[in-house]
């Protein structure tokens, strides 16, 4: 039988001792470093993508439909149905402001009601990417509609309204695989079942991002 944990069921920040760190790639959006660290008494080498973090938005209308956009993703060579989302442009950018910007840029919508729905790490085995997912309700079109400010993948982002229950079914049967869509849709269904009592204030502290900043896991602007 494997060892059993007897402590609190909550993520804990205990960075391993890093003996050596080398920047091997400095990209336009994120960096890659190779670290030699001591974990559990064993020296190991690990590749780490130092990521700026991102926000995503589950857009829900008055008849319980969620809005998804269809976007091409070059690493997969596939078009995915996703929640609106985007990178944080600056290490100290307020995530709510970023979410409001991305909602307008990718959908042409504005929302009256904002809440934090869920926070998660996208790929903690290799990346420091932390994502905050918001729930946006009371949605209306912005004046002039969506501004086509992006390029390539962001030029054409057709959207669709789908019943939240049908979106959950699409996640569970494998039709939808984008991480913010999967996490956001299931979190929205759970929050709805709890009469929205699990929602957090839109300006709630993002402790994970603060910790990542403190240990140097965010690109410096």
- Residues labelled catalytic: 154
Are the CB atoms for 179 and 171 separated by under 8 Å?
no
Cα–Cα separations (whole angstroms), residue 58 to 19, 114, 196, 207: 41, 10, 14, 21
Are the CB atoms for 161 and 66 separated by under 8 Å?
yes
Helix (H/G/I), strand (E/B), else coil: 199: coil
Residue 157 makes CB contacts below 8 A (sequence gap 6+) with 69, 70, 71, 106, 107, 146
Q: Does the CA dihedral 145-150-155-158 come out positive or negative?
A: negative
Q: Which of these, 124, 139, 133, 100, lies nearest to 204 by C-alpha position?
A: 133
Cα–Cα separations (whole angstroms), residue 163 to 43, 70, 158, 160: 50, 16, 17, 10
58 phi and psi angles, rounded to 5 deg = -90, 110
């Amino acid at each position: 039988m494997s060892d059993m944990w007897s402590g609190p069921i909550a993520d804990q920040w205990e960075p391993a001792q890093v003996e050596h760190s080398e920047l091997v790639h400095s990209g336009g959006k994120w960096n890659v470093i190779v670290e030699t660290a001591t974990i559990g008494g064993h020296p190991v080498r690990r590749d780490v993508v130092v990521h700026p973090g991102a926000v995503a938005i589950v857009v829900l209308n008055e008849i319980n439909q969620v809005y998804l956009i269809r976007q091409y993703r070059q690493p997969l060579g596939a078009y995915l149905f996703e929640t609106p989302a985007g990178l944080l442009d600056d290490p100290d950018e307020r995530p709510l402001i970023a979410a409001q910007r991305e909602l307008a840029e990718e959908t042409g919508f504005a929302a009256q009601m904002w809440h934090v729905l869920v926070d998660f790490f996208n790929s903690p085995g290799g990346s420091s990417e932390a994502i905050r997912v918001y729930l946006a309700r009371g949605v209306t079109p912005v004046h002039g509609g969506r501004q086509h400010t992006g390029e390539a993948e962001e030029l054409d982002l057709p959207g669709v309204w789908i019943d939240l229950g049908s979106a959950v079914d699409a996640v569970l049967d494998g039709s939808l695989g984008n991480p913010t869509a999967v996490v956001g849709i299931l979190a929205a269904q759970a929050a709805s079942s709890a009469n929205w009592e699990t929602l957090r204030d839109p300006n709630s502290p993002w402790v994970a991002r603060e910790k990542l900043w403190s240990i140097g896991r965010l690109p410096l602007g």
